[in-house]
Amino acid sequence: MNRTLNVEAAALQRHASGRYSDGLVCDAIKHYVNHVGAVPDAAWGQLQFTQRWKTEWREAVADRATEASLASERFTDVGETLYQVVADYSNTDITVATGFAAIEQSPIMPFVTTLEQAPAATARPGGHLNAYSGYTGGGYSVTIPDDTPEGHDLNILFKGGRLNQEEM
């Protein structure tokens, strides 16, 4: 059964969509941080302190990726819960939706476009929504537009493993 939502339910649905989208963006940020933070071993050099720097850098990148993953889980859970509340409150099916207009110009957007293709989900009255909550597959290839300085630098980094340095 589908029908028009009242103002309160429509506001809840917009908020649910925002939190659900935030969860998917946080998942994309996790992948972005892992890509950008993947400094090749040869780039660290051979100075006496470089091993410590390399270890601490990798720990910091892993910590930031973990934080993004935890934020993704929280936002997705809030979004799913709110969608279910709207379905129960309005006694109608609610289709899960996402929107990423706020980050369209961000270097993270190519990761969202590649990894966060949420399949359709519907919250049904009296049910429990388990929506798509982020990329869980294996390898992937992110297509980054080369029309901004950031995009150009990311493309160089991903293709050649070098950025602002001589080829190794």
Is residue 1 in a domain? Answer: no
pLDDT per residue as tens digits for the range 129-163: 989 988 888 888 887 888 888 777 777 766 655 55
Q: Is residue 168 assigned to a domain?
A: no
- Provide the β-strand partners of residue 123: 94
Q: Which domain holds residue 80?
A: 7-160
pLDDT at 160: 57
Q: Summarize pLDDT for 77-94 with one digit per residue, the tens.
A: 999 999 999 999 999 999
Q: Is residue 165 part of a domain?
A: no
Q: Is residue 95 part of a domain?
A: yes
Per the structure, how many domains does the chain have?
Answer: 1
Give the global pTM: 0.82
- The 8 Å CB, 24+ separation contacts for 103-106 are 103/25
Question: Does 2 reside within a domain?
Answer: no
Give the distance from CA 64 to its chain's centroid: 13
pLDDT of residue 81: 95
